[in-house]
Amino acid sequence: MSSTRKERNAAAAMYFAQHAPATVIHSRESSMTGLINWDCEYTDTFAGEANYCWVKRESLSLPAGLSQRQIMRKAKAALGLSGMRGRTLPYSDGFEFRPYRSCTVAFVTPRY
């Protein structure tokens, strides 16, 4: 039985989708306690840069091994941004979230 190129490509795509590793965050601290502490900041921007005219800060303790999406969902909930759409970018060891149609930015960084 011979298979077509489309069938082989579809099978390969399904295999990689099921076995591809997710982005997982680890730290030295997590190996001892199983938790990673995250600092979250939400502030305004001026000319696209963080301004800190006002700022909302939160701290989270999350289990080690969470994906970027899981971390950002918890951080957005803590900052009161649940349901707000935007762009998430890597920032230092953490993440930067820029909501659409809003001159604000949120930073989520691990505390070492």
- The Cα 56–Cα 42 span in angstroms is 5
Which whole number is the average pLDDT over 51-65? 95
Tokens of 40: 């979250």
- The Cα 6–Cα 55 span in angstroms is 52
- The Cα 106–Cα 34 span in angstroms is 25
Q: Tell me the per-residue pLDDT of 34-55, one tens digit each, with 9 for 90 and over.
A: 899 999 999 999 999 999 999 9
Q: How confident is the model at residue 3 (pLDDT cuts 50, 70, 90)?
A: low
Query: Against a cut of 0.85, is the pTM above it?
Result: no
Block residue for tokens 């759409």: 85
Pick 4 or 70 by higher pLDDT. 70
